[in-house]
Copies of this chain bind each other. A is one copy, B any other.
C-alpha cells in the first residue's frame, strides 16, 4: 500500500480516513488532526498560541505524544507529573517523563503525593473507598491547583477518541444528563476551576501509538497495579467492532454529539455551581461546608 500523499511505501493504514501514510505524511496527518482538534468543534478554540498550557503527563504514550506535538506546533507548554507513590509504577513512570522532558527541552513540574500526605498506597490501605475513584479525585484536584497557581490558561490531558467515545457511550447508556452536559474536548473555566482541554479528541489510540512509535517516544507501558483493568474496556471493545464494521463511525458519533447531542442537555443545568465555596484549608471550590474532598481525605489519613 502506498502513501496517499507522496506515494512512498505506506507504514500506517487508516480505514476511518480511507487513507494510508508513510511515516512523514502520517506525522503531518497527526499534526493536522491535533490542529483541527484545537480549533474545537462548535464550542470554540481550546486555546490560542498566546496562552500557556499545562499538560498532565502520566508517562503513557498519549500524554507524551500530546506534549511533543504541542511543542512542535509552537504552543507554550509545561508538563505536570503527579507522583502517586505507587510501588513498581510511579517511579518508573516519573523516570520516563523526566527523560522525555529532558530530551525535548521541556519544562516539567512534579507534585509528590507522599509529600502532600496523600500517597496512594496509604489511601488504599486506610480508606474504605474504591482506590481508583479517590486517586482520580486527588489527581483532578492537583491538576486544577497546579494550573491555577501557575497562571496557566488551560490544563490539557491526553484523552484520545477511544477514551472519549467510550465515556460518551457509557454516559449515553445511562442517559446521565449531568455527565453528558460536561463531556467534550473543552470544559470552560469557571470560578475556581481552570479550563480543561483534550486536544487529541480526534485521534484514536491506534493513531497516538503509531505517532509515539514513529517519533521515537519512549513511554511507560504497564497498567497501574491497582487498576482492575483498562477503564471502559468492554465499551471500547464494542466501539472497536462498530468501527471495524463501519469505519469512521466512532469519530462521527463524537462529532455529532458535539454538534447536536450535547446542547439538548444544556437547559437543564442552568446554575448548579451556585453552591460552591472555597475550601477553608486550600481554597479550592467545594460544595462542602468547610473542607474540600481532598483536604478531608488528607485529614482522615493523618488521624488514623
Q: A residues near B, CB below 8 A? A: 172-177, 234-235, 237-238, 241-242, 245-246, 249, 252-253, 256-257, 259-261, 264-265, 267-268
Contact = CB atoms under 8 A, between A and B. Distances in A.
Given A172-B172, A174-B252, A234 B260 contact: no
Contacts of A237: 241
Copies in the complex: 2
Nearest to A233: B245
B265 A173 contact: no
Nearest to A237: B241
B268 A173 contact: no
A234 B238 contact: no
Nearest to A173: B253
A259 B177 CA distance: 11
12 contacts: A173-B242, A173-B253, A173-B256, A174-B253, A175-B256, A175-B257, A175-B260, A177-B261, A234-B242, A238-B241, A241-B241, A264-B264
B260 A177 contact: yes
A288 B256 CA distance: 29
A257 B264 CA distance: 13
Nearest to A265: B264
Nearest to A174: B256
Contacts of A234: 241-242, 245-246
Contacts of A245: 234
Contacts of A265: 264
B238 A173 contact: no
Contacts of A261: 172, 175, 177
A242 B236 CA distance: 11
Contacts of A257: 175
A239 to B, nearest CB: 8
Nearest to A168: B172
Nearest to A242: B238
A238 B165 CA distance: 15
A53 B11 CA distance: 61
A176 B245 CA distance: 20
Contacts of A256: 173-175
Contacts of A173: 242, 249, 252-253, 256
